[in-house]
Amino acid sequence: MTAPAVAPAAEKSTTLSMGKALNTGLRRAMDDDPKVIIMGEDVGKLGGVFRITDGLQKDFGEDRVIDTPLAESGIVGTAIGLALRGYRPVCEIQFDGFVYPAYDQIVSQVAKFHYRSQGQVRLPIVIRIPFGGGIGAVEHHSESPEAYFSHTAGLKVVSCANPNDAYWMIQQAIASDDPIIFMEPKRRYWEKGPVDTDGQPYPLHSARVIRPGTDATIVAYGPMVRTALDAATAAEDDGRSLEVIDLRSLSPLDLGSVYDSVRRTGRLVVVHEAPSNLGMGAEIAARVTERCFYSLESPVLRVTGFDVPYPAARVEEEYLPDLDRVLDAVDRSFGW
């Protein structure tokens, strides 16, 4: 299956929530290829706990949208067998914290099969994971496990941050012959934005400058992109122009646009929900320091979740990076 190719014809833009954009993208992928199968807990009759797969079982049947037992290891293990038989399984992990029972299957089998077979076997599996906090959930429902998978050779990891990317990136991930961990920022499922269904999709593993600026660079992905944009808007009141870059792909990392930006601005703040210790921000900071050392006017700073278990819902807003913490990091950057 080749990646979705769309002629750059007249735009056909519509306003969708991110959840609906994902649903529409999944529907199009299933229309385009009968080998695409969706499987997971409550993805069929219920349409998923976030209704991302709503209506798909009704339209495509129980053989293609499969309600599985509550067994994440079994879901991913079954997907491996289906991929070996020529299917393109799309697994839904109901919540981020539920992925760990499947971790062995993902890192020991899914990630290794292509290498183990000396390139003869590919596993075109997409594993969808709603991740991050901000929805007032209980324990195991607000994790940010992206660094585990980004660290694993043989996996690709991406995260959408707006409805248009959600619509296109899920189709591109399904069309890929490589296994992809697809991180969905669950707190943004209900946010609406324009979706150009007839446009040209941006390359799946490319970062994107979504707000140009001249004074400092903010890098984010997934749920924190909106926070970074809000911070850039607020910084205008202080006369500061912040450039915002959406990473989109966490493995492989596309940092070319980040290097170019930092060489112009001299300052970088990396924002993500996951804890700072050995997180994505640490890798980005190391690479930028190696490549842009003589352009930096201050150390690379990180705004992240804290190095503690994800807290109870009533205090999660104290844990999550917010506009004030991002602006404080920008102020500290200018203090050097």
So which residues are the catalytic ones?
141
* Rounded Cα distance, 298 and 125, in Å: 41
The residues, ordered by sequence, that sit 6+ positions from 46 with a Cβ below 8 Å of its Cβ are none
Inter-residue contact 74 to 39 (CB < 8 Å): no
* Rounded Cα distance, 25 and 214, in Å: 35
The residues, ordered by sequence, that sit 6+ positions from 150 with a Cβ below 8 Å of its Cβ are 157, 250, 251, 280, 283
* Rounded Cα distance, 297 and 290, in Å: 14
Q: Which residue, 287, 247, 265, 270, is CA-closest to 329?
A: 270
Token digits for 19?
């959840």
* Rounded Cα distance, 147 and 157, in Å: 9
* Rounded Cα distance, 74 and 72, in Å: 5
Beta bridge partners of 250: 253
